[in-house]
Amino acid sequence: MDIHRITRDITVLNDTAPIPGVGFLPVNAFVLHASQPVVIDTGLSLPDRGFLDTLGSVVDPADVRWIWLTHPDRDHTGGLFDLLEAAPQAKVITTFLGMGIMSTERPLPMDRVYLLNPGERLDVGDRTLTAFRPPLFDSPATVGFYDDKTRACFTSDCFGAPLPSPELAASDDVRGVPARDLNDAQLLWAAVDSPWVHSVDRDAFHATLQPLRAADPDVILSSHLPPAIGQSTAFLDMLAAAPGANPFVGPDQRALEQLLATFEPGAAV
């Protein structure tokens, strides 16, 4: 994992997941260095990722007070239970639905849960975090938040994009990606991760963008994109176009068989 300290108060813990034929997807967790430290998501659920070791180089896990689980997908929960053991004071921020989804695999200890819905606020000592539902999401349990001190917006999967190289996926600034290429990749991700966006009422969808336009965050942090500074207008314009973008159609069985054939012993590559 790579570590990026993008402001005095925010550290990115970056991992990357290759997606054959599509690109390289950043998979980020974050540390908010508030007076009551907050860890946002806990990395990929793959062996040997070393999330807790990486986190420990940034903050003492015993000092962590909050674990904000943006939603309970497996690319957000990898180090969760190890962190709960190492951080005895910490509570997991999620929703009633998120807690229920987690219970189908490994239940969260009820005394370690803090339920927070979109629109509610949490005081973490030196700032207030305002929970909200991002305009795009792939889980009904998704909740991001806005930090009023850093003017940073943590948006879960919203605004993500597969990128053409692992170096770009691991970078500390999305401005390293050409603007047109980034816009196209974000629209692709919107179609992959939130396919419902193509069937929504467009006026109703555009209305969900207004709170973010009004907040005009200085920093946008996505689970699946390098940090974005000063990009809120461009990103929200991209989202406004998402309902009209091309739907994603993945490879079919024939394409899979052709792909597998290229890896058979003696097959031509």
Set out the domains of the chain in order of their start, with CATH numbers: 2-261 (3.60.15.10)
List the helix and strand counts (H, then E) for the chain: 9, 13
What local confidence, expressed as pLDDT, does residue 146 receive? Answer: 97
171: its two tokens: 């970078």
What local confidence, expressed as pLDDT, does residue 103 receive? Answer: 93
What local confidence, expressed as pLDDT, does residue 269 receive? Answer: 38
Neighbours of 41 (CB within 10 A): 27
With the CA atoms of 44, 49, 55 and 60 taken in that order, what torsion angle do they form, in degrees rounded to the nearest 10? 120
8 Å CB contact between 55 and 38: no
What local confidence, expressed as pLDDT, does residue 47 receive? Answer: 79
Taking only the tens of pLDDT, the chain with its 269 residues reads: 899 999 999 999 999 999 877 899 999 999 999 999 999 999 988 877 889 999 999 999 999 999 999 999 999 999 999 999 999 999 999 999 999 999 998 999 999 999 999 999 999 999 999 999 999 999 999 999 999 999 999 999 999 999 999 999 999 999 999 999 999 999 999 999 999 999 999 999 999 999 999 999 999 999 999 999 999 999 999 999 999 999 999 889 998 888 788 776 554 43
Closest CA to 100 of 83, 118, 84, 113: 113
